[in-house]
Amino acid sequence: MSQIIAMSDKDDGSDDSDVSVVLKTRPKTKKPPLYKVLILNDDYTPMEFVVHVLEKFFGMSHQQSFELMLTVHKKGMAVVGVYSHEIAETKVTQVMDFARRHQHPLQCTMEKE
Ligand code: TYC
């Protein structure tokens, strides 16, 4: 798809009220889609482990991590960040691998924003 852009035909800063306007087309650049990374609640993963995961992989402070962990614990899930597809996928893989290595059932998924 192309976009029509109205452009003034002069660049002297004066207004366009009395002059012609040229129309130009340019290819519409598509922004890459963003993905939400979600953490899900479960009954077994220790709270401290989730706090550690949020600090380690999402660069949150201890307080931020603790608050978000509690939100997930109470509401069932929360968005922990929004990233490009590749970064979101990496985060999900890192969290899932780390949780499995520690034998916790913690779930982390991504969805298109
Ligand atoms: N519900 C867990 C517990 O009571 C804690 C928990 C919080 C687990 C957040 C997962 O994403 C989670 N130990």
The tens digit of pLDDT for each residue in 40-61 reads: 999 999 999 999 999 999 999 9
Which residue puts its alpha carbon closest to atom 7 of ligand 1?
Answer: 73
Q: Which residues contact 37 (CB under 8 A, 6 or more apart)?
A: 58, 79, 80, 81, 82, 83, 88, 91, 92, 108, 109, 110
Q: Is 39 in the pocket of ligand 1 (CB under 6 A)?
A: yes
CA 73 to ligand 1 centroid distance, Å: 5
Q: What percent of the chain has pLDDT over 70?
A: 82
Predicted confidence band of residue 11 (pLDDT cuts 50, 70, 90):
very low
Instruction: Find the radius of gyration of the CA atoms of the chain.
Output: 23
State pTM to two decimals: 0.78
